[in-house]
Amino acid sequence: MAYVPLADQEVELHHPHSWVTKYVWSQDHKVIAIQYGGTAIAVGLVALVLSLFMRMQLGFPETFDLIDPNSYYQSVTMHGMIMVIYLLTALFLGGFGNYLIPLMCGARDMVFPFMNMLSYWVYLVSVIILLASFFVSGGPTGAGWTLYPPQTSMAGTPGHDMGIVLMLVSLAVFIVAFTMGGLNYVVTVLQYRCRGLTMMRLPLAVWGIFVATVLGLFAFPALLVAAIMMLFDTLIGTSFFMPAVIESGTALNYDGGSPILFQHLFWFFGHPEVYIVALPAFGLVSDVLSTHARKNIFGYRMMVWAIIVIGLLSFIVWAHHMYVSGMHPYFGFFFATTTLIIAVPTALKVYNWVLTLWEGDIRMNAPMYFAIGFIFTFIHGGLTGLFLGNVVIDLPLSDTYFVVAHFHMVMGVSPILVLFAALYHWFPKMSGRMYHEGMAKLHFWCTFLGTYAIYLPMHYLGIHGVPRRYYALGTTEFMAPATQDANTAITIAALFVGASQLLYFINMFWSLRYGEKSGPNPWGANSLEWQTPDTPPIHGNWGDTLPTVYRWAYDYSVPGAHEDFIPQNTPESEEPTVDEEHFDPDHDVSKADL
């Protein structure tokens, strides 16, 4: 390793002078993180309520009449878009990325705090534009979250006039916000690590967020271009995506566009987006598992490479979402192959998580419950992904509930479980207080068992041939009468899971006020964010001197150490490094350049 002695960079921090600059127009990454997180969770609750509307309709058709067919489609669209982009992307990268990157890298803040602040406020604007579409004439767009043309712009689709325009503008604004934040995250990780912290000593949480941000910076451009082109199609009548269409007997003013082009652009963004959500989850859960199992993460270097390889592969699998679009069958062959290849590094990660638990001194704290729950749901979602990655199996399953079950399991429930693990795990650092353990565990069991009650039956519905996207299933010859019973049961489970999320909010608000004082490092964790002089960390994070790192983040249960953890900033002179006999090749970065 080439050690490059560099003068300590000291950043001129913008020190706040009033309440407004401290908590509203704040340039402190921790405040921005909490602003991002709070906004994302708030808008996520909107999406949660929308999903419950849909479930009420499917579970009890013709009983409640909460929503009509149009608002059903609007709910589907807004639920999907909000959950994927405005909740998961924003919370993982804007929330946890902002909070953890500077702390875990031993930095005082992001490299460009002003731009970071701007990122949040532009994100908020995009959320407001999105929510505004509920109040315009025609309501939000009901085109499905993939916004496929030509149906997005056809008169039969709800929100085909104002709704779709606001959706596209909101997405474009979101991309601007993400780019400003994302550039900050990437450059902070690359250029602003503290002394001794090489890339291969970074906690996996930072690796996951870092690679996901890189993916975002290269994938969101495709969505931006698709949004701009579709805006022109909708507003000034160009024909990028619109072929010649006859609507109710009249030919529309479109000619010669390519709807498939939109699908390619959308999924060139859309598939990396899956990993933009998944990779931070992989990273965060690795740290939670290792900390609470009191054991180093198994195969650290392998985990890093798996994250990078998954990130690279995610750019060449996009058309597996388009097997039924009528593209050339050879494309299907190529994309099925790459899709199955991506299962290799992903499975490797799962094995390594399980092997991290193996013979660990496991502490069953609430974050650990969620982390282990994640391994279950992720394996389930991943296995059904192998079904859908194959063209011949995907064709009959593509328009059924099997797909709904698959992606909710793999990129809905799994990241959400990691989010809760991370929220509970880092809550003591963010607030200085412990959450209520019993309530958190109850929250876990309600969520974990409840989501299984929702999505496991959906797989069977899908294999049975129940189509997705239907407002009401009615009675058909191929669907057994029990289909409706299953749907009713799913709805009851969904209502239960939705309501049980209240436990989380009650827990958080109660603990903020009445929780026990947590101290700086309640879990005995190694990574730098737990070693700050103040809890919660104050502006500038590190007091007078920046920390120096002497080891990786996973020195748990090292033989001969005073405690079962050795913080990253403990010098070799004070605590043992792992000796030759217990040598773990992942530990010593100096011998492992390539």
Among 24, 42, 49, 187, binds another protein (CB under 8 A): 187
Work out whether 261 is an interface residue with another protein (CB under 8 A). yes
Size of interface with another protein, in residues (CB under 8 A): 61
* Strand duo 250-251 + 246-247: pairing: antiparallel
Helix axes 29-59, 113-132, angle to 10 degrees: 20
C-alpha distance across the termini of the chain, in Å: 10
Nearer to another protein, 165 or 366 (CB): 165
Write out 252-275 in H/E/C secondary structure: CCCCCCCHHHHHHHHHHHHHHHHH
Nearer to another protein, 73 or 210 (CB): 210
Work out whether 179 is an interface residue with another protein (CB under 8 A). yes
CB 526 within 8 A of CB 568: yes
Nearest-5° Cα angle at 525, 521 to 527: 105
Task: Quote the least distance from Cβ 402 to another protein, whole Å.
Answer: 31
Q: For 542, phi and psi rounded to 5 degrees?
A: -120, 15
- Of residues 284, 93, 64, the one with CA closest to residue 174: 93
CB 586 within 8 A of CB 296: yes
Instruction: Compute how many other C-beta atoms are within 10 angstroms of the C-beta atom of residue 343.
Output: 17
Task: Quote the least distance from Cβ 562 to another protein, whole Å.
Answer: 26
Among 68, 255, 361, 563, binds another protein (CB under 8 A): 255
Task: Quote the least distance from Cβ 226 to another protein, whole Å.
Answer: 8
Please state the separation of Cα 380 from the chain's center in Å.
18
Per DSSP, the chain holds a count of helices (H) and strands (E) of 16, 2
Work out whether 325 is an interface residue with another protein (CB under 8 A). no
Nearer to another protein, 367 or 567 (CB): 567
Instruction: Outline where 390-533 has alpha helix (H).
Output: 391-397, 401-408, 414-431, 437-464, 482-514
Work out whether 388 is an interface residue with another protein (CB under 8 A). no
Work out whether 544 is an interface residue with another protein (CB under 8 A). no
Work out whether 7 is an interface residue with another protein (CB under 8 A). yes
**Which range, of 29-37, 199-207, 334-342, 515-523, touches another protein by CB under 8 A?**
199-207
**Which range, of 67-75, 258-266, 414-422, 497-505, touches another protein by CB under 8 A?**
258-266
Among 18, 248, 256, 475, binds another protein (CB under 8 A): 256
Among 56, 265, 397, 417, binds another protein (CB under 8 A): 265
Work out whether 16 is an interface residue with another protein (CB under 8 A). no
Work out whether 589 is an interface residue with another protein (CB under 8 A). yes
**Close Cβ partners of 312 (under 8 Å, ≥ 6 residues apart):** none
Instruction: Tell the burial category of 392 from Cβ atoms under 10 Å away from its Cβ (0-12, 13-18, 19+).
Output: exposed
CB 466 within 8 A of CB 479: yes
Work out whether 12 is an interface residue with another protein (CB under 8 A). yes
Among 34, 101, 103, 224, binds another protein (CB under 8 A): 224
Work out whether 251 is an interface residue with another protein (CB under 8 A). no
Task: Quote the least distance from Cβ 275 to another protein, whole Å.
Answer: 16
CB 539 within 8 A of CB 523: no
Nearest-5° Cα angle at 575, 571 to 581: 115
Work out whether 186 is an interface residue with another protein (CB under 8 A). yes
Nearer to another protein, 115 or 489 (CB): 115
Among 228, 302, 383, 439, binds another protein (CB under 8 A): 228
**Which range, of 28-36, 197-205, 491-499, 578-586, touches another protein by CB under 8 A?**
197-205
Instruction: Tell the burial category of 443 from Cβ atoms under 10 Å away from its Cβ (0-12, 13-18, 19+).
Output: buried
Among 238, 390, 484, 521, binds another protein (CB under 8 A): 238
Nearer to another protein, 266 or 565 (CB): 266
Among 132, 225, 327, 495, binds another protein (CB under 8 A): 225
Sign (positive or negative) of CA dihedral 219, 225, 231, 237:
negative
Residue numbers at the binding site for another protein (CB under 8 A):
1-7, 9-12, 111-112, 179, 183-184, 186-187, 190-201, 217-218, 220-222, 224-226, 228-229, 232, 236-240, 243-244, 253, 255-258, 261, 264-265, 268, 549, 589, 593-594
